[in-house]
Structure 1
């Protein structure tokens, strides 16, 4: 994530709102020390932490991942941008399957470790989402507006805009879900 300059973008959004690190800490529940380390790019935030920061700053999560210029329209499997912390095998992370987030649609793969949820609690976004379960495990669950659905290999689901939802992987295998969101919300 170093080439995305997350820390610099975080600092730019924070200072443009005349917000101190302490104020951002109070708004997110993330320590001021951790926020400082993120801004100085000494650590990478988890997706949940970055989502909390984006909400506190009033910016869509995808703003942290935007690039200025599309260098190449093809995304090679070994050069995908990763959102989250894949070095920690117990945390959910995302791989961006589009070259950047500058377009009108976002295409990602979510990787959910065994016995994990996509987020700590339900969340929603302004865009419509369609998700496809690759079937690395036997099944995966998704709770949408309080209703839990179970998807099997090669099943897909549409999630309406502003629908509260959370993914559940209660299997012993890592689950992979490919999804598209329009407009981009990461």
Structure 2
């Protein structure tokens, strides 16, 4: 068990060690030792701590971490030289896990194409417009999507994105399986 997770939850909840000890029924010394990984709480003790924070015991026992937090300043970025486009990944890429999807944010300058050629991708893609508008150009028609709109594009459907407006368009893409 990782006692640091007890400390993080306690601080997140603006709780002192004394307050946690009072709510859980343990001494402050006991809580402090758990947080510093000096002792392992019994399953019944862990259950009492979990009730205080309303979390599952698995939260403390999972060493691999089924939850990944990506802080804004830690986001990975990928520049595509072909069109000087930057992708900012909202979940890590290449972190040793088999992510089932990718999530990235990008910008498209006014009057620019995401790619000069049609993209034929081997993953499904959802594009969500955060600010501005895009034209999604398919082989035989166009779709205009604006702020708040989204479009789902199945794999192997040739398409390309164009910003017809006079402002930079900000959008987010979710791809499945993971694109990167």
Shorter-chain TM-score above 0.5: yes
* 2:154 corresponding residue in structure 1: 160
Q: CA deviation at 1:179?
A: 1.2
Aligned residues: 112
* 2:113 corresponding residue in structure 1: 117
Structure 2: gaps of 5 or more residues: 1-63
C-alpha RMSD of the superposition: 2.3
* 1:33 corresponding residue in structure 2: none
Moved over 2 A (4+): none
**For 1:130-173, what per-residue CA distance to the aligned partner results, in whole angstroms no more than 9, with x for missing partners?**
111112x2x21111233211011100001011011111012221
SS of 2:73 mapped into structure 1: helix
CA distance in 1, matches of 2:162, 2:113: 5
Structure 1 length as normaliser, TM-score? Answer: 0.54
* 1:130 corresponding residue in structure 2: 126
Mapping for residues 37-186 of structure 1, pairs under 5 Å: 73-84=68-79, 91-101=84-94, 102-135=98-131, 137=132, 139-186=133-180
Structure 2 length as normaliser, TM-score? Answer: 0.56
C-alpha contact (below 8 Å) 2:101/2:179 kept by paired residues: no
Structure 1: gaps of 5 or more residues: 1-68
Q: Larger Rg: 1 or 2?
A: 2
